[in-house]
Structure 1
């Protein structure tokens, strides 16, 4: 498919017209960080901007008050661009989601004037709670991605990266309930919830030698008791299990659950294990899609020399999307000194000139990538065929149910 004018230059021109608004959005998200599923101001800022730019906006989609979609165009090739905007407790946008979200907005705005000529629909998906809860997974389950042919986003980082994968992850809130008692006068009347947690932690530590390769378990005790002279009657913790694949994660979770159950069995405390949101699958990036992004980013002066392809990162709910449709999740780099993500020092770099350039480069590179997907006939056919097959499988599964 071809157009009469150069769509790449049209996209660049449109983004230039929105440059100040996009950067103001990034800075505003950074200045008012909001936690998972509480991103009311952030979601509104983005949705308002998209609505003002002529996009059809649906707010509170998928029964998630801070999720939205914004669409433009009517082509059969639906390009899904996911915008993240949740922050971390206590340290704000230390994972750079203000950059992620603003870059997604930049890409959608840049594509708008060429969407109809290219036969694409631009779909910006506002996806809350990536850090804790899995907004994308809920949106996937509830149909927001059903019409999406291919999905992409960029993620803030110290360097540009492409083709890396991530761990599958499951998160738990753990609670032991025992019986409080005077620690000196009548300890035998108590049931020590802290001992239950200690036994579980020892069991997890002992299991590490036999843990599945690539398995990671980590957590923090959020309440360990109230006073040294009181047998702790309630102890809570947050724990994560990670593995290289979703299949390995299921096996790891079963063993770690047994470790927590051992603490309850040994002490007589009651155990509660509550899932936090949805499990995240490992990230599987589409190679051809990724190479299109590489060409676009390199045309803007970006380099991918510092991050080897196939490197494993943390965990992301974009992994679940990647198991269903062609997906990319490259990193967009900017100078952040010697620090890394999830560090409070990283937060301070989120509105620097380097971060602003990452927003604009990431947005334009995604827009140019979408243009290549739309105009390379073989690629376009592959994506549309895969989407049609996915729809057929989904229909068959629904009929079987």
Structure 2
């Protein structure tokens, strides 16, 4: 009896481990943790691959809740990215528990064929996607230097093979004025909250002139402590997004002028703090996107047509930074959340439901079988290996 194909073997591994993968998804979902504090989730994500014999490197890139788990010694190094951070107040409303479990399933499946296909499987635990840019930091630290291709799957309301995203940067603007009694001596105060108001009015007027694809949204994080005290300090946090990084840079310049206007109008001092790396837009590898699309259809899913997905950028992700440097893919696996979308409470509830459990299994199968196709297609295998060698011969990202 002939041996099963590598594609069928990886699918069989995922289906055999389905109960373990779903249990992992539910365990992470039950204990949501925020950016750079995902200690329990990080440990949970390592457990199954550690049992399989993966070599674990903890605190990858110097980040406490990052890790890298390697299996095999082949020249084609495949990075499988696992996210596991949650959202403040909303838990796993972005379904990162599904991402982590699907990534583990992909890694376990590829380990089964690593020797036959000349693979090294690298499961990458990447913290702080929602805020902090874990992948960008790991990229800068060299964690991806030997990786030829990187993959991950993200849940969402629809199936999207070649998902795209918006470039993003986030800043906190601090205004420094001078406190004074609001009734006795208001003329001696310098109102930092007024600086925030002027900046927000300027931003509101700017919106009419924003270029297509540019978005801004923010919150006031400090607006004073007592109504009878002129606020001496105030702060806002704003996110800026655009379809491409060049457009984002243009938007930043205009937003920074609005922040400066608040200070100028009120006499405050101000400082702009960009604590996390900017996120680049996703640049999906076209060959891998087509392979994922085929696998989605094979599993009975209905991914959006390429013409539609190209005009449907999602939010923003630090996986965009990775795909700007090396071939990668970030497909969206559909989850039925009753019409809810990511970052809504109903999606958080659905992320541990039956549709989400199917997404864990299907996501792992789609990724694993797509990588097998890549490894078994000489021209594509040579392409990604050659690109990786070019990166190694040049300067580190």
Please report the TM-score for the alignment, with normalisation by the length of structure 1: 0.95
Q: CA RMSD in A?
A: 1.5
* 1:362 is aligned to 2:358: no
Q: Secondary structure at the match of 2:287?
A: helix
Cα distance in 1, alignment partners of residues 155 and 116 from structure 2 = 31
Query: How many angstroms does 1:250 deviate by?
Result: 1.3
Cα distance in 1, alignment partners of residues 11 and 97 from structure 2 = 21
Number of the residue aligned with 1:251 = 250
Trace 1:2-401 onto structure 2 (pairs within 5 A): 5-305=4-304, 308-310=308-310, 311-394=312-395
Q: Please tell me whether the aligned partners of residues 169 and 277 of structure 2 are also in contact (alpha carbons under 8 angstroms).
A: yes
Q: Secondary structure at the match of 2:309?
A: coil
Query: How many angstroms does 1:135 deviate by?
Result: 0.2
Q: Please tell me whether the aligned partners of residues 25 and 101 of structure 2 are also in contact (alpha carbons under 8 angstroms).
A: yes
Q: Secondary structure at the match of 1:321?
A: helix
Query: How many angstroms does 1:4 deviate by?
Result: 5.6
Q: Please tell me whether the aligned partners of residues 163 and 332 of structure 2 are also in contact (alpha carbons under 8 angstroms).
A: no
Q: Please tell me whether the aligned partners of residues 160 and 306 of structure 1 are also in contact (alpha carbons under 8 angstroms).
A: no
Q: Secondary structure at the match of 1:72?
A: strand
Cα distance in 2, alignment partners of residues 166 and 20 from structure 1 = 32
Query: How many angstroms does 1:6 deviate by?
Result: 1.2
Query: How many angstroms does 1:281 deviate by?
Result: 0.4
Query: How many angstroms does 1:208 deviate by?
Result: 2.1
Cα distance in 1, alignment partners of residues 90 and 370 from structure 2 = 33
Q: Please tell me whether the aligned partners of residues 161 and 304 of structure 2 are also in contact (alpha carbons under 8 angstroms).
A: no
Q: Please tell me whether the aligned partners of residues 159 and 306 of structure 1 are also in contact (alpha carbons under 8 angstroms).
A: no
Q: Please tell me whether the aligned partners of residues 191 and 230 of structure 2 are also in contact (alpha carbons under 8 angstroms).
A: yes
Cα distance in 1, alignment partners of residues 241 and 309 from structure 2 = 21
Cα distance in 2, alignment partners of residues 300 and 79 from structure 1 = 23
Which 4+ runs in 1 deviate beyond 6 A? Answer: none
Q: Please tell me whether the aligned partners of residues 81 and 123 of structure 1 are also in contact (alpha carbons under 8 angstroms).
A: yes
Q: Please tell me whether the aligned partners of residues 167 and 280 of structure 2 are also in contact (alpha carbons under 8 angstroms).
A: yes
Gaps of 5+ in 1: none
Cα distance in 1, alignment partners of residues 136 and 225 from structure 2 = 37
Q: Secondary structure at the match of 2:70?
A: strand
Deviates more, 1:210-219 or 1:88-97: 210-219
Per-residue CA shift, 1:343-386, capped at 9, x if unaligned? 11110001111100000010011110110000011111111111
Cα distance in 2, alignment partners of residues 152 and 389 from structure 1 = 20
Deviates more, 1:325-334 or 1:228-237: 228-237
Cα distance in 1, alignment partners of residues 186 and 387 from structure 2 = 64
Cα distance in 2, alignment partners of residues 4 and 336 from structure 1 = 39
Cα distance in 2, alignment partners of residues 304 and 13 from structure 1 = 23
Cα distance in 1, alignment partners of residues 281 and 39 from structure 2 = 28
Q: Secondary structure at the match of 2:395?
A: helix
Gaps of 5+ in 2: none
Per-residue CA shift, 1:83-121, capped at 9, x if unaligned? 010000000000010011111111111111111101111
Q: Please tell me whether the aligned partners of residues 33 and 93 of structure 1 are also in contact (alpha carbons under 8 angstroms).
A: yes
Deviates more, 1:225-234 or 1:187-196: 225-234
Q: Please tell me whether the aligned partners of residues 157 and 341 of structure 1 are also in contact (alpha carbons under 8 angstroms).
A: yes
Q: Secondary structure at the match of 2:261?
A: helix
Q: Please tell me whether the aligned partners of residues 158 and 304 of structure 2 are also in contact (alpha carbons under 8 angstroms).
A: no
Query: How many angstroms does 1:152 deviate by?
Result: 0.9
Q: Secondary structure at the match of 1:222?
A: strand
Q: 1:214 to 1:145 in 2, by over 3 A?
A: same
